[in-house]
Structure 1
Amino acid sequence: MRKKEDKYDFKKFGLAIKEARIKQNLTREQVGSLIEIDPRYLTNIENKGQHPSLQVLYDLVSLLNVSVDEFFLPDMNTVKSSRRRWIEKQMDNFTEKELILLESLANGIKKSIEMKK
């Protein structure tokens, strides 16, 4: 028999769902309509860490492009955070010129980090 404290705490996951939803300018009502759930259920997932059903979990991470790896496999080195996945998705729409600017920014950050060492 499992102990109550062995259950997974979905609060961090709920916050990530909320952040991703807001970044995509979606309301709870819109998300609820898209994945056919009551917006109050989504509110409880986002704010109270309510355990979503497996189908709702799948629908939310698919719709909002949230990585579950960072929540369920936090010790893995191959994890791509939701933030990294969101940035990569944004880059798909960048022009070559914008990618060059982003590359320059990344190089500047890297040099700054190296100088601090």
Structure 2
Amino acid sequence: MAKRPIEKYDFKAFGEAIKAAWTGRKESRKKVSDEMYISPRYLANIENKGQHPSLQIFIELVRRYNISVDQFLFDSPVGKDTNRLQLDALLDNMSDNGIRIVTATAKEIAEVEKEDK
């Protein structure tokens, strides 16, 4: 039986999102790889060369950095994108005062964007 011709998924965009997430948190590749029990080279290959991670590592990275799988796997993402998931995670850990500040800022941004239209 012949192999089914199927295009191999390119994980480069996912790798770039992972790298941006841990650098944004001011973590090091060594710290991330040590905590995930993987080699720094494996993580670097996922980030820079689009190496396919194992399913377990993929899931751990998605959860660790609140990465939206939808934006990488579907042409029309169904759920929230990565930026919104990461913002939700930040908001979940914020005090009531912080939420008030973020809400006021968001309202002001919405007003300015409405005026620009």
- Normalising by structure 2, what TM-score? 0.86
Question: Can you list the C-alpha shifts for 1:88-109, whole angstroms capped at 9, x where unaligned?
Answer: 1111222222211111111111
User: Within 5 Å, which residues of 2 pair with 1:16-95?
Assistant: 16-76=17-77, 78-95=78-95
How many residues align? The count is 114
1:2 matched to 2:1: no
Structure 2's unaligned 5+ residue stretches are none
* Offset of residue 15 of structure 1: 0.4
1: distance between equivalents of 2:43 and 2:83? 20
Which residue does 1:15 correspond to in 2?
16
**Runs of at least 5 residues in structure 1 that lack an aligned partner in the other structure:** none
Instruction: Give the whole-Å Cα distance in 2 for the aligned partners of 1:102 and 1:90.
Output: 11
The 3-state SS of whatever aligns with 2:57 is helix
RMSD over equivalenced CA pairs, Å: 1.5
| Percent sequence identity over aligned pairs | 39
* Contact map agreement 2:14 2:72 (CA 8 A) in 1: yes
1:65 to partner: Cα distance: 2.2
TM-score, reference length from structure 1: 0.86
* Letter of the 2:19 counterpart: K
Cα deviation for residue 45 of structure 1 reads 0.6
- Kept after mapping to 2: 8 A contact 1:73/1:79: no
Partner Cα separation in structure 2 for residue 58 and residue 32 of structure 1: 14
1:42-74 superposed Cα distances (whole Å, 9 cap, x missing partner): 001111111111111112112222221211124
Secondary structure at 2:30 match in 1: helix
